[in-house]
Structure 1
Amino acid sequence: MAKANVKDLLEAGVHFGHMTRKWNPNMAPYIFMEKNGIHIIDLHKTAVKLDEACNALEKITSAGKKVLFVATKKQAKEVVAKHASELNMPYITERWPGGMLTNFVTIRKAVKKMNHIDKMKKDGTFETLSKKERLQVDRQRANLEKNLGSIADMVRLPSALFVVDIMSEHIAVTEAKKLGIPVFAIVDTNSDPRKVDFVIPGNDDASKAIDMILNVVSDSIKEGLSQRKADKEKSKEEGEKVSADADADFDQAAE
């Protein structure tokens, strides 16, 4: 499993929290000190919590399950989209669609609508529409792509959420908790860590800090995916061996 390095976390600025007047008292166990009116996060505790989160994420993905990444704030959008895309995991970086999890059936219908439009363009049906209708359909397709394109392949509810800034993504966190979906999150000093299952204390406002944490998270998920692939190949080989042995026994009996 990938391990968090305190020095790397420090260089990325993961230790910078919010101004002391904006703090959430429930983050006290993860705060090292106050400096110039800003809370400094204890990176040794961050490293421990990050390792715990990575271990759990590795187990989830090694079982072939999906993790939905959520980050709609400007500083995190591109970083999260990059990592999630490389992992072939679903992600939301535009506005969170209300009911994304609790009303998943409706969201899937919207995705199917997007796929239906694509099919229309392939089979020529789209060209039979009037110019005005084609324009309306194109606008609808673009809007669906912007909001749901990154989850088009997510055919069932995710097994976990990874969130950057639980205050910004409070609706996503609430929906996940309602359904019993574990939430992994980068939690800054102004947030309540009790709202998530796996807390990663850290700066959720700086792209460099977010990227540093996601590098470690991504490495663990990649290990989980590699283990999943290895297990499937092993099962396939064992199945072929059993089949070959059965054929040999049959041939021998026939003789």
Structure 2
Amino acid sequence: MAVEVKELLEAGVHFGHLTRKWDPNMAPYVYMERNGIHIINLYKTAVKIEEASEALSKIANSGRKILFVATKKQAKDIVAEKAGAINMPYITERWPGGMLTNFVTIRKAVKKMASIDRMKKDGTFLTLSKKERLQVDRLRAKLEKNLGSIADMTRLPGALFVVDIKREHIAIKEAQKLNIPIFAMVDTNSDPRQVDYVIPANDDASKSIDKILSHVTTAIANGLADRKAEKDGFEDSDESEEIVTKTKSKATSVKVAADEEE
């Protein structure tokens, strides 16, 4: 969907930080200064949203996951809702160190969760003492809180989407080390050079975060829908080819039988 500057304005996407807290590298995205606050150029924001949306749609269409990262209070619930709705992994609690660079260990922790669930299903859990059951339950709850939202992420993500790159600097560094593309909402107090796809925007207000996330998750959903349509079309094509092959084979058998009778 097209990005309207008016809707960005109404959501307060244009409000940057105090001028004394700004990062000079954000100068190309600053429109003006008002009452000691930098105002973001929303025309540039709209263009950047469309660029990021197109790239994210392609990544989703390729079958790779996009990991959303936002641990600040204003963004947590919004990211959990939006990313969860399109079945994408997200981190809204503390970033687990080595989440990307030591992914094998993180996967082991996720498998531990699945192992506990199997214990509860097959009755093994009930053979434990009361104290042991309590310990296992606490471990399961802790793992679910920190890693439950990435349980389906079986390999490294195709991209990272970050809200507030200053706060999520560890996630940014890990993604950079592994050359994972970084998409992010970047406010006037941050360095945009750390990000591959910059969306200059207010990353403190929930309305602003909600508006940006709505656009990018819609684009991802479209990419996923296109992928499904392509797969369905491919399967239909295979089925049609099989029917044609069987029909030809049957026709050949009938012809051979007729020739033998003659």
Sort the TM-score into its range (normalised by shorter chain): over 0.9
Normalization by structure 1: what TM-score? Answer: 0.99
Which residue of the partner structure matches residue 231 of structure 2? 232
Q: Deviations over 1:19-74 (max 9, x none)?
A: 00000000000000000000000000000011000010111111222100000000
Which residue of the partner structure matches residue 63 of structure 2? 64
Could you tell me how far 1:245 is from its partner in structure 2? 1.1
Which residue of the partner structure matches residue 110 of structure 1? 109
Q: Which runs of 4+ in 1 moved over 2 A?
A: none
Determine the C-alpha separation between the residues in 2 that align with 1:180 and 1:138: 37
Which residue of the partner structure matches residue 206 of structure 1? 205
Which residue of the partner structure matches residue 167 of structure 2? 168
Match of 1:146, SS state, is helix
Normalization by structure 2: what TM-score? Answer: 0.96
Which residue of the partner structure matches residue 183 of structure 1? 182
Which residue of the partner structure matches residue 87 of structure 2? 88
Larger Rg, first or second structure (1 or 2): 2
Amino acid at match of 1:151: I
Q: Deviations over 1:151-194 (max 9, x none)?
A: 00111111000000000111111111111110000000000000
Which residue of the partner structure matches residue 127 of structure 2? 128
Determine the C-alpha separation between the residues in 1 that align with 2:61 and 2:108: 29
Alignment partner of 1:11 is 2:10: yes
Listed as ranges, the matches of 1:129-168 within 5 Å are 129-168=128-167
Amino acid at match of 1:187: V
Amino acid at match of 2:177: K
Match of 1:65, SS state, is coil
Matched length? 254
Match of 1:96, SS state, is coil
Could you tell me how far 1:110 is from its partner in structure 2? 0.1
Could you tell me how far 1:223 is from its partner in structure 2? 0.9
Match of 2:173, SS state, is helix
Instruction: Give aligned-pair identity as a percent.
Output: 68
Q: Could you list the runs of 5+ residues in structure 2 that have no partner in the other structure?
A: 255-262
Match of 2:97, SS state, is coil
Determine the C-alpha separation between the residues in 2 that align with 1:130 and 1:222: 46
Q: Could you list the runs of 5+ residues in structure 1 that have no partner in the other structure?
A: none
Amino acid at match of 2:118: K
Q: What is the root-mean-square deviation in Å for CA atoms of aligned residues?
A: 0.6
Determine the C-alpha separation between the residues in 1 that align with 2:81 and 2:94: 17
Determine the C-alpha separation between the residues in 2 that align with 1:254 and 1:183: 59
Amino acid at match of 1:91: Y
